[in-house]
Amino acid sequence: MRIAQVAPLHESIPPARYGGTERVVWWLLEELIRRGHEVTLFASGDSRTSARLVPTWPGALRLGKEAIEDAGVLHAAAVRRAIEQGDAFDIVHTHVDWIGPAFAAYSDAPLVTTLHGRLDVPEAQVMSTAFPDASLVAISRSQRSAMPRANWVGMVHHGLPLDPLPFSGERGDYLLFVGRISRAKRPDLAVRAAHGAGLPLKIAAKVNGNPEDRAYWEEVMAPLLATHGDGVQLLGEIGDGEKSALMAGARATLFPADWPEPFGLVAIESMAVGTPVIALPNGALPEIVEDGRSGFLVASLEEMIAAIRSTDALDRRECREVVRERFTVERMADDYEQVFERLASSCRSESASEASAGVPRGAARLALSPTAT
């Protein structure tokens, strides 16, 4: 198939450091290319990919020198560039939230959007009402449940390339937290759990510049580290290779997210290298972590400390096997191929009906005026 992928511009493809959605997009498009599909990527100009790259901004926004206040405008321009190519694609797949559905009525090719964020917020409910026919893919059952009336055409769990990742069958001597320093991710709970279990904790994360995350650092994390910081090592933001090695050497990865986590990419990355995950059962985590096999689901700080002390009972090979069974890039690509083919087949049937009735192809769709020069 001829597939357009429209990626967020916050990070390059693949991301230089932190960037979950961008990493998943990269894994997916490289696997689709390996299978023989013709993939065009609309992304930042500093992206590195086997796909045909159409740069829609010179570089990743987060690392750029130029401050951009509204990335949504740039993402809208990227989606428009994709759909303006008309017959060049059999499917347009967007990853830029609700901007894709807003343009779907203008696209000759079927347009499908994977939503990567939380949906239990008022703006998501408004958008789902505004675009009830938008073809949407969820990344977990938990995420999808927040909008039961939306036009879901699939639910596709993330998947990663397993073979390149190192596997460690040895139990490490430290605990690990990877993610963002934010109230939603609750690294403070990881610090308290490690302190209670008497084990060192490595935190691979950075404080973002937004006021909410900065306030959390100043009001919660900094005072906590002043009293419980012995044995806590702040590593800052790390790259992909560093992250895999760090995960492989850990006794367990702590995932105390205290919000409706849409997926939890860190969890499958940790399990892939053989390191169990100890998580709160929020959002999609119960869909990912098999309690007692690839980690533990806990409801309190006390349960988290007890789970840390029980990791010896887990077989690290089983952690990797869970990923092999359910979270590989091959399985993810299989699922997306099925979604793409259903939508493309439906579009072909629609076009055939229009042709038999003497109606020009896509006549029912709205038309975009030419881009201003």
Cβ atoms 209, 237 nearer than 8 A:
no
3-state secondary structure of 154: strand
Cβ-based neighbour number of residue 238 at 10 Å: 18
DSSP reduced 3-state for 219: helix
Give the pLDDT band (50/70/90) at residue 16. confident
Confidence class of residue 77 from pLDDT cuts 50, 70 and 90?
Answer: very high
How much is the average pLDDT of 237-263?
A: 92
Flag whether pLDDT at 70 surpasses 70.
Answer: yes
Q: Is the pLDDT of residue 363 over 80?
A: no
Q: What span, in angstroms and rounded, lies between the C-alpha atoms of 20 and 24?
A: 6
CB within 8 Å of 158: residues ≥ 6 apart: 24, 139, 263, 265, 268, 327, 332
What mean pLDDT is predicted for residues 66-93? Answer: 90
pLDDT at residue 368 in the model? 67
3-state secondary structure of 260: coil
Q: Given this model, what pLDDT does residue 210 score?
A: 84
Q: Flag the least confident range among 59-73, 143-157, 195-209, 215-229.
A: 59-73
Question: Confidence class of residue 329 from pLDDT cuts 50, 70 and 90?
Answer: very high
**275-316: per-residue pLDDT in tens?**
999 999 999 999 999 999 999 999 999 999 999 999 999 999
CA distance 202 to 316: 20
Decide: residue 258, CB within 10 A, 0-12 exposed, 13-18 middle, 19+ buried: middle
In the numeric block, the tokens 């191929």 are attached to 337
Q: Which two tokens stand for residue 332?
A: 């993810």
Give residue 361's pLDDT.
53
Between 143 and 63, residue with greater pLDDT: 143
Domains of the chain and CATH, by start: 2-161+329-356 (3.40.50.2000), 175-326 (3.40.50.2000)
Least confident residue range of 120-124, 297-301, 332-336:
120-124
CA separation for the pair 331, 169 (Å, rounded)? 24
Strands (E), the chain: 2-6, 38-44, 52-57, 91-94, 111-114, 135-138, 152-155, 175-178, 201-204, 232-234, 252-255, 277-279, 295-297
Please, which pLDDT band fits residue 68 given cuts at 50, 70 and 90? confident
User: At 69, is the pLDDT very low, low, confident or very high (cuts 50, 70, 90)?
Assistant: confident
* C-beta neighbour count of 38 within 10 angstroms: 15
Alpha carbon distance 135, 112 (integer Å): 5
Whether the model pTM is above 0.85: yes
355 has a pLDDT exceeding 60: no
